[in-house]
């Protein structure tokens, strides 16, 4: 059974750095073809791709957010960490981590975590 | 990179068929067979319904089908059921960033 779960703060202040951890089970990020990514969804709005990392440490970022994002993996802990700097109220959203295939299909999703940016 | 274009809403009666379009460019939808479709019910995480244009994951009813022509992909739901009422999103690999781009989402209402 494949599961993913996001963890991190639910409230951050403007200009702070957000750090989210995705802990997964049922698969290994050392297996060829496997990736884990982050996707967010502001309240009432559409999904937005953020970043992904593959088994071979290949990383891809949203062009519009690339300067603010860093994605890393700890294969031994089955974890992927996303950091986003200089948070702003417009970054308020539900943040999902998910397993990604090489053809960029998201086949398993976490439950999501709502992050609110407010002073 | 711009989001893929989807209609904001579509509707249909139980038993009918509907089609949701997803229009991109030759750098994404038109250039690769890497289009996926997701269903999202309120308050829930999205669920993969179609991958690589027309493939269904195990457990997805065959009422759901996908296709592509040029820069436009389509999701067709036949034999509409009440539980199909949800938001639907398309996504595609994009060569402009070698990453992913999503559509703006389509709200399906079952009348």
Whole-number CA gyration radius for chain A: 13
Distance from C-alpha of A12 to C-alpha of B98, rounded to nearest angstrom: 30
Q: Write out chain B's pLDDT in tens, 111 residues.
A: 568 999 999 999 999 999 999 999 999 999 999 999 999 999 999 999 999 999 999 999 999 999 999 999 999 999 999 999 999 999 999 988 778 999 999 999 999
Interface of B with A in 45-84 (CB under 8 A): 45-48, 51-52, 57
Could you tell me how many residues make up chain B? 111
Decide if B102 and A47 are in contact by the 8 Å CB cutoff: yes
Q: Is B90 exposed, middle or buried (0-12, 13-18, 19+ CB in 10 A)?
A: buried
DSSP A16: P
| Residue of B18, B6, B20, B25 whose CA lies nearest to B70 | B25
Place of tokens 């519009």: A64
Task: Look at the block and give the residue holding tokens 């990514």.
Answer: A37
């Amino acid at each position: 059974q494949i599961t993913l779960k996001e963890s991190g703060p639910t409230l951050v202040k403007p200009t702070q750095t957000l750090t989210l951890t995705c802990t997964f089970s049922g698969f290994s990020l050392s297996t060829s073809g496997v990736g884990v990514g982050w996707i967010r969804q502001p309240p009432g709005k559409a999904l937005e791709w953020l970043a992904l990392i593959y088994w071979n440490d290949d990383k891809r970022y949203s062009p519009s957010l690339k300067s603010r994002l860093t994605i890393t993996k700890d294969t031994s802990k089955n974890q992927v960490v996303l950091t986003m700097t200089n948070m702003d109220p417009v970054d308020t959203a539900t943040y999902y981590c998910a397993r990604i295939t090489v053809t960029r299909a998201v086949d398993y999703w976490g439950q999501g975590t709502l992050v609110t940016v407010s002073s | 990179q711009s989001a893929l274009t989807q209609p904001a809403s579509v509707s249909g009666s139980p038993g009918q068929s509907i089609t949701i379009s997803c229009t991109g460019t030759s750098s994404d939808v038109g250039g690769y067979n890497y289009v996926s479709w997701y269903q999202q019910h309120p308050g829930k995480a999205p669920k993969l319904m179609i991958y690589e244009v027309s493939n269904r994951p195990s457990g997805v009813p065959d009422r759901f089908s996908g296709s592509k022509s040029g820069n436009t992909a389509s999701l067709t739901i036949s034999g509409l059921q009440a539980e199909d009422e949800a938001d639907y999103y398309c996504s595609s690999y994009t060569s402009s960033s070698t990453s992913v781009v999503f559509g703006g989402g389509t709200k399906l209402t079952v009348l």
